[in-house]
Amino acid sequence: MAAYTLADRPKLLTRLRSALLQRVMSTLVPKRVLVSRGPTTERRVALTFDDGPDTMTLTYLELLKKLDVVVTFFVIGDHVRALPQMVRACHDGGHEVAGHGMTHTAFPKLSRAALLEELNGTQALLPPSRTKVPLVRPPKGAKNFRSVAEVAAAGYTTVMWSLDSDDCRTDNAEEVAARVVNETRNGDIVLLHEEQQWTLDALPKIVNGLRARGFSFVTVGELISS
């Protein structure tokens, strides 16, 4: 698997359109169908990691164990097929594992039948879900009302995020850590990625910084079930 390539920063109009869609959908769509943050009454946060498993997964797990933190991994089905032992290690470490599509194809581009194959094919490769309704994160965060409705009809909850670490657009660990530590609010779901050394380097600063601010760490399932 190739190392993660830095993405271009979206144009302002694209960011505004995406933020507006997220706000509208969060208002109109039930939490059972779409969630982007947890309750804001408690000082809890969920760290999430997209695009694994990969050759760095065990290194991530070793660091997370040292930091005494549980997280949610959103994994790609094709990667799981190549490295099934990595997913077992995530699950055995007490972490939550959920789907991120089989091929990392944007859900709105897929027909209903193809989307079902992506969802169910990936889920069949994963350990039993720790939530009553399995969680799934759309590849690249791409979604529309149709794709979200079809994901829900298939029996899944779409999970987005409320804070983007921007670790897919910068390889500066200090910038990534500062953004997360300074901008996290109660109930946030934080987007991070696997197979990136700078994300790994940022993790201790993120965890220690948030703990200093009084935050505790939970999985997405734990966050949204309260």
Both tokens of residue 197? 């050394």
78 tagged catalytic: no
Could you confirm whether 50 is annotated as catalytic? yes
Q: Measured between alpha carbons, how far is 2 from 196 in angstroms, rounded to an integer?
A: 11
- Which string of b and e fits 139-176 if b means at least 16 CB within 10 Å? bbeebeeebbebbbebebbbbbbbbbbbbbebeebebb
Q: Which of 79, 95, 100, 193 is catalytic?
A: 193
Q: ω before 53 within 30° of 0 (cis)?
A: yes
The answer to whether the beta carbons of residues 220 and 48 sit under 8 Å apart is yes
Q: Which of 8, 50, 79, 171 is catalytic?
A: 50
Residues recognised as catalytic: 50, 193
